[in-house]
Amino acid sequence: MNSAEKQLAILLDFGKVINKTKSLNDVLESIANFARDILQADRCSIFVHDAHKEELWSKVAHGTEPIRISTKKGVAGNAALSKEIQIVVDAYNDYRFNQDVDKKTGYLTHTILAVPLLDNQENTIGVFQALNKKDGIFTNSDAELLLLISNYAASAIENAILYDKLRDTQTKIINKLASAAEFKDQETSKHTKRVGLYSALLAEKYGLNKDDIYKIELAAPMHDAGKIGIADKIMLKPDKLSFEEFEIMKTHSQLGHDLLFDEENEYLKAAALIALEHHEKWDGSGYPHAKKGEEISIFGRIVAIADVFDALISVRPYKEPWSFEKAHALLNENSGTHFDPALITLFNENIERIRTIYQELKD
Ligand code: C2E
Ligand code: SIN
Ligand code: SIN
Ligand code: SIN
Ligand code: FE
Ligand code: FE
């Protein structure tokens, strides 16, 4: 193969890796490997820029532990601040070079090529750096190549940052909704947290995967979000509800579902399903759809248990709190009728962990 063919082969390989790998670190690592091969460099690093701290954090660094450097010093810092390509042909005789990193790593830097990673608004989001070209020095055409490759790294980093922000926003919205329902219900945020934690524990013991465990912990506290739509006169009534009042109260399941459902968002989808199903019963006598057994999703079956248990041990406008033991006994009395018996077994097997959650988050 001639060198153009070699480059093409590397490029094709690179495309395959990029499509298959998912996590940001994997993507950046394959980009760094690719850059090292194509530039004939000894090592490459990709730094992410922290503008607040005025630092660069290595996401990938061949041959060393992750490092953190100031943007005020060194070649990479220069690239970050000036947003210009840096080519260094003799590091120890170059004013831009900062020897601290070599001292720490025991590496001996001779030549450096560093390019800034810029976002759409031309902000520096990182630096891509290659060290010690195997043969000779880094050239302008090496710089062109590295800039091209850098576009991949920049968009991978940008996507990851956007994704983190989105997830942050979603979590905030979700927590706001949960506290809105609490306010209406005169329930405490400790209560909603407990329902999330009991649910996550049961989900883990049942063998759901990490994603689903996190999802239920986040979504379970919103099971009563639909109570926002129920009149205070009913919600806060200190006595038993009349038949008609209870019929209205029962609409909180569907109301909550419709309020929370969002086709695009897996957390809100799970929350909507939980709101809809948390008063269904294993024997088919629940509401709103009288679903039976495994027609009720595992999320719905789990939250049904966590909700009733916590409602019993909590104070309500219409009832005093029950003791832990009495609430635990009621779950067992209703195993196989109200509740999925396999889940009640798991609840019993893990009663000490349930008790710990209860004690640590007492009202
Ligand atoms: P909640 O207070 O969060 O109660 C959730 C579920 O826990 C209830 O669902 C029920 O299955 C169980 N639970 C709560 N307290 C008791 C109890 O003292 N004994 C027994 N055996 N189970 C209990 P349910 O029945 O579908 O009620 C849904 C919601 O309707 C309740 O949520 C509460 O907000 C309201 N509600 C139910 N009954 C009454 C009542 O008599 N008076 C008033 N003011 N509200 C009620
Ligand atoms: C620098 O940016 O000056 C340090 C280069 C290195 O990583 O050795
Ligand atoms: C809520 O969302 O307000 C709390 C849950 C509950 O009532 O059990
Ligand atoms: C599950 O059953 O594992 C998830 C809940 C659902 O969407 O049914
Ligand atoms: Fe409810
Ligand atoms: Fe509830």
76: Cβ below 6 Å to ligand 2?
Answer: yes
Whole-number Å distance, alpha carbon 327 to ligand 2 midpoint, is 63
Indicate if 225 and 130 belong to the same structural domain.
no
Indicate if 143 and 247 belong to the same structural domain.
no
Indicate if 60 and 201 belong to the same structural domain.
no
Assess if residue 180 is contained within a domain.
Answer: no
Assess if residue 174 is contained within a domain.
Answer: no
213: Cβ below 6 Å to ligand 4?
Answer: no
Task: Give residues with Cβ within 8 angstroms of 62, minimum separation 6.
Answer: 32, 36, 42, 43, 44, 45
Assess if residue 179 is contained within a domain.
Answer: no
The strand ranges marked E within 110-247 are: 112-118, 124-133
Closest atom, ligand 3, to C-alpha of 307: 8
Assess if residue 82 is contained within a domain.
Answer: yes
Name the β-bridge partners of 316.
319
Domain that holds residue 59: 3-162
Whole-angstrom CA distances from 118 to 44, 78, 143, 162 are 18, 14, 15, 15
Structural tokens at position 41? 């460099």
Alpha helices in 207-295 (DSSP H): 210-219, 232-235, 243-250, 252-260, 266-277
In three-state secondary structure terms, 6 is helix
Indicate if 215 and 314 belong to the same structural domain.
yes
Whole-number Å distance, alpha carbon 273 to ligand 4 midpoint, is 9
Whole-number Å distance, alpha carbon 297 to ligand 4 midpoint, is 5
Assess if residue 173 is contained within a domain.
Answer: no
CA-closest residue to ligand 4 atom 3: 298
Q: Up-side HSE of residue 261: CA atoms within 13 Å toward CB?
A: 10
* Ligand 2 site-directed mutation target among 49, 59, 129, most atoms within 8 Å of CB: 129
46: Cβ below 6 Å to ligand 2?
Answer: no
98: Cβ below 6 Å to ligand 2?
Answer: yes
Q: What is the DSSP string of 282-341?
A: TTS--SSS---GGGS-HHHHHHHHHHHHHHHHS-BTTBPPPPHHHHHHHHHHTBTTTB-H
Q: pLDDT tens track of the chain, all 363 residues?
A: 555 555 555 555 555 555 444 577 877 888 899 899 989 999 999 999 999 999 999 988 888 888 899 999 999 999 999 999 999 999 999 999 999 999 998 999 999 999 999 988 899 999 999 999 998 999 999 998 899 888 888 888 887 777 776 666 667 666 666 666 665 565 566 888 899 999 999 999 999 998 899 899 989 988 988 887 888 889 888 899 999 999 999 999 999 898 888 887 788 899 999 999 999 999 999 999 999 999 999 999 999 999 999 999 998 888 999 999 999 999 999 999 999 999 999 999 999 999 999 999 887
124-133 sheet: strands from edge to edge? 68-70, 55-61, 41-50, 124-133, 112-118, 86-88
Indicate if 324 and 192 belong to the same structural domain.
yes
Indicate if 33 and 156 belong to the same structural domain.
yes
Q: Domain holding 60: CATH number?
A: 3.30.450.40
Is the bond leading into 288 cis (omega within 30 degrees of zero)?
yes
Indicate if 135 and 72 belong to the same structural domain.
yes
Task: Give residues with Cβ within 8 angstroms of 265, minimum separation 6.
Answer: 170
Q: How many domains does the chain have?
A: 2
Indicate if 289 and 235 belong to the same structural domain.
yes
Phi, psi values for residue 360, rounded to 5° = -75, -25
Whole-number Å distance, alpha carbon 189 to ligand 1 midpoint, is 18
Of 290, 138, 273, 254, which is closest to residue 215 (Cα–Cα)? 273
Assess if residue 177 is contained within a domain.
Answer: no
> Identity (one letter) of the amino acid at 77?
G
CA geometry: angle 334, 315, 271, nearest 5 deg: 65
Query: Which of 112, 146, 162 is where one domain is finished?
Result: 162
Indicate if 157 and 258 belong to the same structural domain.
no
- CA-derived radius of gyration, the chain: 29
Assess if residue 169 is contained within a domain.
Answer: no
Indicate if 352 and 309 belong to the same structural domain.
yes
Indicate if 129 and 245 belong to the same structural domain.
no
Q: Domain holding 222: CATH number?
A: 1.10.3210.10
Alpha-carbon dihedral 334, 337, 340, 342, rounded to 10 degrees: 70
Indicate if 244 and 149 belong to the same structural domain.
no
